[in-house]
Structure 1
Amino acid sequence: MKFFQFPILAVAAGALLSACSQPSPPAKAAAKPDRDPAAAVAAIRAAGSQLESAVEVKPLRDPAVDGLIKQARDLEAQAQPAPALDAVRRAEKIAGPAPDILQFEAELLIESREWREAGEVAQRAYDSGPKVGAICARNQQTLVEARSALGDAAGAEQARAQVVACKLAAPARY
């Protein structure tokens, strides 16, 4: 019997010692993102403006929605992303989940350092919107920025590849 007691004591002592060890540091993805929101939004908007696509979708909408979007853009220009976000969400209540409005919301969320929510809103905008053109490129670049800020390198790289896929060349004319 004494032969079996020694290994049991050794295992118990090892378990006790491991319980006293220091906790591991938090994962990098759990750390607070240090990405500059202004630089991220500039990269997002540049992705859409630099894309020369033959296909663009421009929705017709209620003038009240256009007024709220203008108000939101004016507030954003005054470095007031929270009130701008409120105006955009009021516009969404009228227009529904329009991809371009959702994308603007995602950009304002990035300015507010709400990286995870920005990624979720950009994904909704992509899912309900065009798969080519400037909005598509901005959706995907938003995912690049949000995932990078959250430490998801693989997800950011996947979204980066999708930015290129948003370009649809014009058909050859004969």
Structure 2
Amino acid sequence: MTLSTVHRPGRWAAAVLCLALAACASAPPPAPTVPALTDASPQQMVAAIRDAAGDGEGELAVQPLRDGRIEDLRERAAREEAAGDYAAAITSLDAALAVVPDAPGLLQERAELALLQGDLAESERLSQRAYALGPQVGPACRRHWATLEQIRLLQGDADGAAQARAQIGGCRVGVLDRF
């Protein structure tokens, strides 16, 4: 046996160790975190979103027809949310969305549940879709913009939150005079 044969395993171990260290050294640094601009709980944020919607009294409020096939799922989701079982509420709303995938009200409710679960990207995606498919005026419009405001606050984006907040007022359209 030669000397080079005896030391070969040590060389491999050293080479593997060097590669492992190089891999660690080349990992990108973690992205800097921006502190949230709110200390509200997710429940408080969703309450603020729903409060921003108001009751629609004295304004134009377009209410799409609700599909009777999903009302039981919607009601179940509301009960599950009230009980704090957000995962079950999400399952119920997802089942309703499987039946009526383009229902703006369902999409917005699902966006609020995503916010309760801390899934900001999903909350934003669903709320944007609800807005695009919905009336873009009235309480539904305000819920959308209030959702975006809360998301921006959590992301530490003061300008984005202010822009979303400014849009809430633009959702209020007075009732039309009838002749």
* TM-score by shorter chain over 0.5: yes
Distance 1:95 1:79 in 2: 25
The DSSP-based 3-state class of the residue aligned with 1:28 is coil
RMSD value, Cα: 2.4
Q: Which has the larger radius of gyration?
A: 2
Give the 3 Å change call, closer, same or farther, for CA 53–106 of structure 1 in structure 2: farther
% identity of equivalent residues: 38
**Aligned equivalent of 1:169:** 174
Distance 1:25 1:62 in 2: 44
**Aligned equivalent of 1:10:** none
CA displacement, residues 13-64 of structure 1 (integer Å, 9 cap, x when unaligned): xxxxxxxxxx7982316x7x85410110010000112543522222323323
Long gaps (5+) in structure 2 = 1-28
Aligned residues: 151
**Aligned equivalent of 1:117:** 122
Q: TM-score, normalised by structure 1?
A: 0.78
Long gaps (5+) in structure 1 = 1-22
Distance 2:67 2:56 in 1: 27
**Aligned equivalent of 2:105:** 100
Distance 1:24 1:92 in 2: 36
Structure 2 residue 50 is the aligned partner of structure 1 residue 45? yes
Give the 3 Å change call, closer, same or farther, for CA 155–63 of structure 1 in structure 2: same
**Among candidates 67, 72, 90, match of residue 85 of structure 1:** 90
Give the 3 Å change call, closer, same or farther, for CA 53–143 of structure 1 in structure 2: farther
Structure 2 residue 41 is the aligned partner of structure 1 residue 36? yes
Q: TM-score, normalised by structure 2?
A: 0.76
Distance 1:53 1:67 in 2: 30
